Amino acid sequence: MSRRDFLPDDIAPDAAARALRWALEEATDPAQTGIDWIVSDIAPGIAGSEAFFAGGSDLAALRHAKDVFKSLRMTGRSARERRLAARFYAATIAAALVHHGTRITTQSDRAVRTALERLSQDPAVPASIRALASDALALVPPV
Amino acid sequence: MPVDPNQPDPDDASPWQTDWSAIHIALRGDPLTAEEAWSRLAARYCPAIHAFIQRLGHTEDAARDLTQSFVCDVVIGRRLFERADRRRGRFRNLLLTALRRFLTERHRAATRMKRLPPGGRTVPLDAVAPARDPAGAPDVAFARRWADILIRSALESVAAECECNGLGVHWSIFDARVVRPLLLGERPVPYETLVLRHGLRTAAQAAGMMIVVKRRFAAALRDGARETVSDDSETEGELRELAALLEGCR
């Protein structure tokens, strides 16, 4: 089958522009772009990673994102991507704790606290997500 | 009538491809392979040239004739790209500038000779008011077609790459989650469905496969844009300019 069989005669300008922006974003910061693509794929109605973790996502979406980030921690193409995936993995746990009062991981309190502490201190992550990690830390029993 | 296996399948060829097959036959044996390469490149962008001309107010047929004339007379006949300084400027702008000049020359010649084309009247190029709708402006029509070709080529290339590398499932997931929703407005197929359909372990696995192909697609778009600029540093600017033109259509 020809792969273009299904393509429309005329690609809508906004769709074409989006595709071109993907190419630009991916060239600029491949690691962060991968994270953003995962979030927009899971929650297409939510604008950006920060909004996703700010309470706009349901538990199913957070669980799905957690699983994808968990995998990306190991399979990411660069050290930065793997590190960011680890941070955003922790961010899904934080968001579930803070916004839904639910723990979506079976990891120990110690492991969760360590992940959240790292997230809260990582300047590569947006400030709002670092603050979310700090809020979540208050909900995890001290060890 | 016997089928000539050397001729393209008419059901599989656009009018542009058919016309260009003829041009290539005409050029066969010509040692100037670079010229052929340029003509192939121009053929690839005929739809953009056609869109620009048609947006000026020409009929479909007239636009096609002018497109063919431009490519034959200017791109090939005057060896446009051999004479151009390819170290400067983008291919898209170079082509567009030459096209504008060609159309102006044609219009002046038609006016001088006071000769009307068969079955119609000449369209005074400089008298055609720009469309109020920005999407209708000739430059934007040209950019839209250009981007269209870039995206189609990138999709073709990534699909072929997936097929060659045994990544058919990766492609199917990318298609279901990204391509069809983007280009056809379809709802993305739920990951649960894709997991069952392709016998995958988890939705996370499927999402990872989607990301792998989306990255390849982004890279293929950059590769395609890179082919039309004089050096790599211009690729980003070219993509940005195209995206901005398309976003101006909203």
Q: Which of A1, A10, A11 to mutate to test the interface with B (most CBs of B within 10 A)?
A: A11
Question: Which chain B residue has the Cα nearest residue A65?
Answer: B204
pLDDT band at residue A133 using 50, 70 and 90 as cut-offs:
very high
Beta partners for residue B90, in sequence order? B229
Residue-level pLDDT, tens digit, chain B, 250 residues:
343 434 434 444 444 443 344 334 444 445 455 566 566 666 677 889 999 999 999 998 899 899 989 988 887 777 666 555 555 567 788 888 889 999 998 888 877 765 555 555 444 444 333 444 445 688 889 999 999 989 998 999 999 999 999 999 999 999 999 999 999 999 999 999 999 999 999 999 999 999 999 999 999 999 989 877 777 888 999 999 999 999 987 6
φ and ψ of B90, to 5 deg: -100, 150
Residues sharing a CB contact under 8 Å with residue B197, sequence separation 6 or more, in sequence order = B172
Contacts of B189 (CB under 8 A, 6+ apart): B176, B177
The band of A143, judged by pLDDT with boundaries at 50, 70 and 90, is: confident
Contact between A72 and B208 using a beta-carbon 8 Å cutoff? yes
Structure tokens at B7: 């001729």
From the list B151, B217, B240, which residue is nearest A16 (CB)? B151
Provide the 3-class DSSP secondary structure of residue A125. coil
Q: Compute the distance between CA of residue B29 and CA of residue B37 in angstroms, rounded to an integer.
A: 14
B71 in A contact zone (CB under 8 Å): no
In chain A, what are the domain boundaries? Answer: 11-137
For CA atoms A112, A115, A121, A125, the dihedral sign is negative
Distance separating alpha carbons of residues A133 and A93, to the nearest angstrom: 9
Tokens of B154: 């990138």
Write phi, then psi, for B229 (nearest 5 degrees). -120, 160
